[in-house]
Chain A
Amino acid sequence: MSNNASQSELAAALREAGVGRLSDSLILPIADRGPRYAASCRVRFHGRYIRMWIRVADVPFDVLPATMRPLTPSRSGSFFTLGPGFTSTGDEHPAVLHLQIEGSQAEVDERAAAVRPLINELSEIRQVRLSTHPERWNRMCVAALAQG
């Protein structure tokens, strides 16, 4: 994949590497058990102001609803969303990547190594690793900007 690869080429390459695509959303309701982003903003909806998550190229985040057994060994896999969002400086960007890898330490390391060449091509990469217990369950979050 070249440095100028389009969104669709990046999505295809990630799928080829075994990463499943999920739908992306520019904004998300702030819900106890819903997905979450690293930043929120004030939104007017139906005549009142609420706070909503806003898709930003930053970590941490969770692209899956919390009802899908997070923090447990049964939730293992790698997922990505790719779509419009904001850079860390607040500019709109058409292709913000959120990549999430979950599983045991060994599983996460192996999957991260498989996608590392693809991620290294992108810009403004930020990543974080969360863990309940390294041997049992880890989550690696990577946010980056792809070619628009």
Chain B
Amino acid sequence: MTLADARERLVQADIIAPTGGGHGFPVWLPFGTLIAERLEEIYLEELAGATSFELIRMPALLDSAQYRAALAARHHEYRNMYELELDGREALARPDNLAPAAAAIVSRQLSVPLVAQGSLYRAVTGALRPLVLDRHVWRATQVVHRVDAGEIEAAMELHLHVCSRLLKRLGLPALWVDKPALARHSKRSVFAYLCPSEDEVVGGATTFELDDALVACLGLSGGVLDFGFTARLIACVAAVHGDRSGFLCTSSLAPNCVVVGARRPADRGLAHRLAERLGENMSRVAINDGAWHRTLRINRRRGTPVLVLVDGASASQLITRFDDESVPLPEDAASAVADALARHDAVLASRAESLLNAAIRLEQSVRLLSRGASAEGWFLNGTVRAVGDVDDRLKDEWDFFARRRRQR
């Protein structure tokens, strides 16, 4: 499924409203906001496991003149930003966090990564993609990390490692590409490319080492890394894992990885007790004791990994979303549910890897990018690299890809 097709899955799963607030302004529905927040939580968990950091709330409006001055070192087009007239002053609805993050680093003398999460407002030229190049990116995570010049390599490795852990927990294997300098912006960058389908490659996360002139213009010194991703990753998850029944995601991303339902009203007490028991061993276990057929329908299209149907009159059932299989719930329910979740994640990871490998083998999407036909305007003109704890099979595919490129 391509990223454009994924929009249908997101609507089907109650993640975004069928129509938004106007061109490029999607409306995220309650279930969608839970998923987007979960995405941010996973990232912060992984970052916290790797290093200490500061989470800062950035102002929603940036003074236009100050913003232009801070980024004067780079060529930039401001026409795609929203400039508000407020009581005689002009302010930009925050197009990115780089300038305010640099100001915060200077004023607070920060040497740890600074993390900003929230909305960004800007139009991106090129073909619009769902939740990707929207004018209002409701949830974006941007990390700005200033280090001494000699520590830049280690900092780059750290952020790539954290990103690879995030993508792994989303079940999204990536093709990591070292890319050359971007004039007046970055000395180098590393892109994590994702394959929503065999013939489509899209950027999933970016890490830039900023150009010295831009660093100086921002009032900083040393090396500066700028890492970011947006809720477009959720569209990638929908495209890679979604099926005819709807959305599908790993147990890490699911707001509820287990939902317990009751066959009849008389079974509700049993269902609550089982949910409590399961909750002692795992997080994000929910109870839904409404009509079972509705619970099943909603959770199937929202991609809840495991459902448990409590039936006091006969055998309770364990239902796995990835294969729609229903089996009697074993006596040791906690172990059975944990096993089912592990199988669910393993199957999703394996399917996604196969998709990425097929895309690399076909090279169709890569050729498209080489010709510059990508709607996003990204060019795969870098060097493929290994990041994080990739397994040997995936590494073999990358080596194969790199050899083919060298032969040309």
Contacts and interface: CB of A to CB of B under 8 A. Distances in A.
A68 to B, nearest CB: 6
A26 B119 CA distance: 8
Given A23-B138, A26-B121, A65 B27 contact: yes
Nearest to A45: B82
A20 interface: yes
Given A20-B30, A92-B59, A42 B18 contact: no
A88 interface: no
A24 B20 contact: no
Interface stretch (A27-35, A114-122, A133-141): A27-35
A23 B17 CA distance: 11
B29 A20 contact: yes
A95 B84 CA distance: 19
B80 A46 contact: yes
A94 B95 CA distance: 17
Contact of B22 (A31, A84, A94): A31
Given A65-B19, A83-B119, A22 B84 contact: no
B30 A43 contact: no
Given A22-B28, A23-B27, A44-B85, A31 B21 contact: yes
Contacts of A42: 84-85
A44 B83 contact: yes
Contacts of A45: 79-83, 123
A132 to B, nearest CB: 21
Contacts of A68: 17-19
Nearest to B23: A29
A64 B17 contact: yes
B292 interface: no
Contact of A34 (B22, B84, B123): B22
A68 B139 CA distance: 23
B104 interface: no
Interface residues of B, number: 39
Interface string A7-48: 000000000000011111111111101110000011111110
A25 B59 contact: no
Interface string A111-132: 0000000000000000000000
Contacts of A90: 86-87
B204 interface: no
B376 to A, nearest CB: 19
B208 to A, nearest CB: 26
A99 interface: no
Interface residues of A, number: 37
Interface in B27-78: 27-30, 32-34, 36, 57, 59-61
Contact of B82 (A22, A24, A43): A43
Interface in B75-123: 79-87, 90, 93, 118-119, 121, 123
Contacts of B86: 41, 90
Nearest to A86: B86
B136 A22 contact: no
B18 A67 contact: yes
Contacts of A26: 60-61, 93, 119, 121
B33 to A, nearest CB: 4
Interface in B3-20: 17-20
B79 A46 contact: yes
A27 B93 contact: yes
B68 to A, nearest CB: 13
A130 B350 CA distance: 52
Interface in A62-85: 63-65, 67-68, 79, 83-85
Given A22-B28, A23-B28, A35 B83 contact: no
Contacts of B123: 45-46
B26 to A, nearest CB: 7
Interface in B117-161: 118-119, 121, 123, 136, 138-139
B27 A35 contact: yes
B155 to A, nearest CB: 28
Interface of B: 17-23, 25-30, 32-34, 36, 57, 59-61, 79-87, 90, 93, 118-119, 121, 123, 136, 138-139
21 contacts: A20-B33, A21-B33, A22-B28, A23-B26, A23-B28, A26-B121, A27-B82, A28-B21, A31-B21, A31-B22, A33-B19, A34-B19, A34-B25, A41-B86, A45-B79, A45-B82, A46-B123, A64-B27, A65-B20, A84-B61, A84-B118
Given A21-B30, A26-B93, A64-B27, 7 more contacts: A20-B30, A25-B136, A26-B121, A27-B82, A27-B84, A52-B82, A92-B61
Interface of A: 20-31, 33-35, 41-47, 52, 54, 63-65, 67-68, 79, 83-85, 90, 92, 94, 148
4 cross-chain pairs, A with B, having the tightest CB-CB distances, nearest first: A20-B30, A29-B22, A84-B60, A23-B28
